[in-house]
Amino acid sequence: MFFKYLRTVVLIAFISTTVPSLRACDVCSGGGAVNFMGILPQFQKNFAGLRVQHKAFKNSQLNSTDYFNSIDLWARYNPNKNWQLFAFLPYQINQRKINHVNTPVQGVGDATFMAGYFVFNNSDSINNKLKCTWMLGAGTQLPIGSTKATTWLGLPADAVLQPGTGAIGANVFSTFTFRVKKFGFAADAQFRTMSTNNAGYHFGNRINTSLRIFRTFAYRNANFIPQFIGTFETSKKDMSRGVQVNESGGNSAFIGAGCDFFNRNIAIGCSVLQSLELQKNIVSATGLRVMFSLTKTF
């Protein structure tokens, strides 16, 4: 029964990265970050660290490219063996480039707090060859980020370029890790919904999923975990004062690779993803999506 479920998960992930109607969505860039857990061994430990992320989206009508960069502070705290608490605070460095003219916008983004509960966790068992963890959780995104940022011309920046959303968000998530000896996979899924902000802008509901297939390599006190990564994102269209924002919403898929390095109480991770854009749209992902992280456990 369990292996039947495993085959189903892998099949869904494969379909998510091969369906020919997939298209990139611009709102997957704005409206607050999605916070995947990734591969996080040493479940019993707390950690604090930094993440740096980069992504870009091209608008064919405006002949413009939006760049979204963030430096995130993130942390995990274990009040007991069954619960984990997470906190994320990004600093956004965004810009829109039109005909070689840059429009930079930057500032502190919205804070996110999440709590997760282990439905199942045998990762500490030394007798089981099969290691499995499953966490379910929920959280909120608080509108502490600026929504008043202006361009260098003094004009208000677009909602998707603002560091903050001005809205309260709610999300639920699931993260599942399965390992047989040195091989395994980690699957994440997250649903997020937002309120309407004071400017009358409402970011569409969003679902993000990811699958990482990995192998561990150990050398003395160090562990290397190279991985194959696939992600799928879908979002409803945004609404601005009751009017649908046409250049928003849709689906996107990415495929790439990454590697995590663990040495005692230090962890370093990186990943590079390429968009699987299979048809042209007004707004689509362009270039590479890059992430780098550095954490310290305690």
Domain range enclosing 69: 2-297
Share of the chain above pLDDT 70, in %: 82
What pLDDT does 57 receive? Answer: 82
Q: Please give the structure tokens belonging to residue 115.
A: 């709590």
- Summary mean pLDDT of the chain: 83
Residues 6+ apart with CB under 8 A from 125: 131
Residue 20 has pLDDT above 80, yes or no: no
Predicted confidence (pLDDT) at residue 295 exceeds the cutoff of 70:
yes
The DSSP code sequence of 247-276 is S--EEEEEEEEEEEEEETTEEEEEEEEEE-
pLDDT of residue 41: 55
Exposure class string for 151-172: b at 16+ Cβ within 10 A, else e = beeeeebbbbbbbbbbbebebe
Residue 19 has pLDDT above 80, yes or no: no
Per-residue pLDDT, 10: 38
Instruction: Give the pLDDT score at 281.
Output: 65
Average pLDDT over residues 32-41: 55
Residue-wise pLDDT for 145-160, tens only, equals 999 888 777 778 888 8
Domain count across the chain: 1
Three-class DSSP category at 294:
strand
- Cα(187)–Cα(142) distance, rounded to whole angstroms? 26
Closest CA to 13 of 270, 180, 253, 277: 253
Distance CA 264, CA 146 (A): 38
**What pLDDT is attached to residue 63?**
80
- What's 41's domain CATH number? 2.40.160.40
Q: What is the pLDDT of residues 86-138, one digit of tens each?
A: 999 999 999 988 887 788 899 999 999 999 999 999 877 666 778 899 999 99
Cβ pair 240, 246 in contact under 8 A: no
Radius of gyration of the chain (CA): 19
Q: Where are the alpha helices (DSSP H) in the chain?
A: 2-16
Question: From start to end of 3-129, where are the E strands?
Answer: 47-59, 64-77, 83-98, 101-108, 111-121
Above 90 in pLDDT, residue 256?
A: yes
Closest CA to 192 of 216, 217, 167, 214: 167
Q: What pLDDT shows up at residue 28? A: 42
DSSP, collapsed to helix, strand or coil, labels residue 156 as strand
Query: With bands split at pLDDT 50, 70 and 90, how would you rate the model's confidence at 221?
Result: confident
Looking at residue 123, its pLDDT comes to: 78
163 — pLDDT class (breaks 50, 70, 90): very high
Alpha-carbon gap, residue 79 to 115, rounded angstroms: 11
Q: Count Cβ atoms below 10 Å from residue 11 Cβ, excluding itself.
A: 10
Least confident of 113-122, 178-187, 246-255, 287-296: 246-255
